[in-house]
Amino acid sequence: MRLANPRARLRLVAVGLTLVVLAFTVRLLQVQAVDADTFAGKAAVNRYLTVPLAAERGTVSSRDGTALATTVDAYDITADPYLFTPKQTGVKDAPAKAAALLAPIVGEDEAELTAKLERKKTRYVLLARQQTPQAWRKIKELKATLADKAAQKEGANVLAGVYQEKHAKRVYPNKELASSVLGFVNSEGKGGAGIEAKLDKELAGRDGKITYAQSGGRQVPTAGVQEHPAKPGSDIDLTLDRDIQWSAQQAITEQVEKSKADRGYVIVQDTRTGELLAMANAPGFDPNDLSGADGDALGNAAVQDAFEPGSTSKLMSMAAVLEEGKATPATAVTVPNRLKRADRSFADDVDHPTWHLTLNGVLAKSSNIGTILATEQLGKTQQEANEVLYGYLRKFGMGSPTGLGLPGETDGLLAKPDKWSASQQYTIPFGQGLSLNAVQAASIYSTIANGGVRTEPSLVRGQTGPDGRYSAAPEAKKTRVVSEKTARTLARMLESVVDDMEGTGIVAKIPGYRVGGKTGTANRVDPETGRYNGYTSSFAGFAPADKPRVTVYCAVQNPKKGSYFGSDVCGPVYKQVMKFALKSLQIPPTGADPARLPVLAGSAD
């Protein structure tokens, strides 16, 4: 048999292949050139989207582990404006219809939502922040209903381009409790004040991102996902005692309201460690609802307000006199009714005949004149005395940062001695002409309570990282200010203020406990005018006086109703908070008898 000629078959195969290649070429030209825009639009619908994954913000807790600031599930509602165009939805007014459905659920203005959904040249818009899981559930149910109707040709799914991003919401379970310390988180998820701002980087963690393909507003599960997980923030453990904070906040709030004052603050400090057990401000605010907050109350006035301390500052003057060996508690001091110095005639808070006091009596009766006479002994000249006193004020922390590093914190004001005016060199010894904040004021008394060693105040005990490891805060800096002997002597002198009937602070007596304290009533500088207007009332002290554990400092700014004396305004607050703190910390009385140093010169008692 003879085989057929293969040339005909080969020619046929060649023609067929040519036609196939030609068809592919024509189609390729059509896709890449003729219909390029059409296919690019279709591809855009199925493009990959990259959306952020918000990191969970760390929890802030009190020293007993109770959450003061935490997070709950919430969702940011987002959208892809491209999927709301008439070409994609088949509806001319899809943005308006979608906005009408979303506005009552997310609580946003309908017109603003419409404008966001109509934006050009973007595939991502944020419609509403931190919506509840219930709100997102309603949106999902609406989307499902519209999708079913669209499948049955009964309308368009105008919510197909609406998505969610999990973005936890910051909540404060105790509402106003410690709000000035905690601060708040702003609408952008960043710390706006207090600890939330100071430790924002640690609390915030690091956001992640996820990239996925979507088609018609839905994720394509078979297209693969690229995810960079978010790194959660660290949990912060504060030194605050929740119960003592509550007691301090309640006491100062009631007194500020009763006195019709501008504001007030209470500081409670552990005398041994420098840890702040409470930092209360009044008025306060609820960080869960900033819309109803007074703008002036959103900060932390206890560290942001600089004010003249008045007579509570006399403790530093007495410390200098005792440490320099210029007098003892029993040294006689003759106190006239008036004392002429520089360009002024100085007086005490009450007119009196010539007093014959001891140095202890000068402190107990809070004599301005007696304090001037005592501090004049610090040097051979007034300038030398000023230099010595200035050195002690600086060692007590005046004019320096507290170490807390909170936003807006003031260092206070303490000019160098060569800048003191003629009157300042006599007013500074009794607390006028310098300024401090409430934490600095409390630290003065904690220094004496701690045997003359100043321990830098602290507010953070440590933090737990995302890996679960706990890191304790660095040990507080300690500075020897006066000797232990001088500190013990001053503690006994402070007892006379509270225990002796001649003292100005007898209202602060606590049955069964030895209490040391000091009243303060200072002329107040109005921050708006820069002139004296009203008073700063204060009370500071510690207990038990012979074995100190707790320092309490109270100050009230510009009380307008009732008395303005520190003993009347802040004495009761001090007593209330101190009693609660001693009980809460289970600190027993020492059982020792009070020191009872003499107040009047020549007195045996």
| Positions marked catalytic | 311
User: Helices 382-395 and 314-323, interaxial angle, to 10°?
Assistant: 110
Write the CB contacts of 163 (distance below 8 Å, at least 6 apart in sequence).
51, 77, 78, 79, 80, 217
Instruction: Give Cα 536 to chain centroid, integer Å.
Output: 23
Phi-psi group of 96: left, alpha or beta (phi > 0 → left; psi -120 to 50 → alpha; rest → beta): alpha
559 closest CA partner among 520, 505, 602? 520
Burial zone of 3 (CB within 10 Å; 0-12 exposed, 13-18 middle, 19+ buried): exposed
Contact indicator for 328, 362 with CB cutoff of 8 Å: no
Contact indicator for 449, 442 with CB cutoff of 8 Å: no
Structure tokens at 335: 């106190």
Question: Other CB atoms closer than 10 Å to residue 62's CB: what's the count?
Answer: 22
Contact indicator for 242, 278 with CB cutoff of 8 Å: no
Q: What are phi and psi of 61, to 5 degrees?
A: -125, 155
Distance CA(384)–CA(377), nearest Å, equals 10
Contact indicator for 389, 429 with CB cutoff of 8 Å: yes
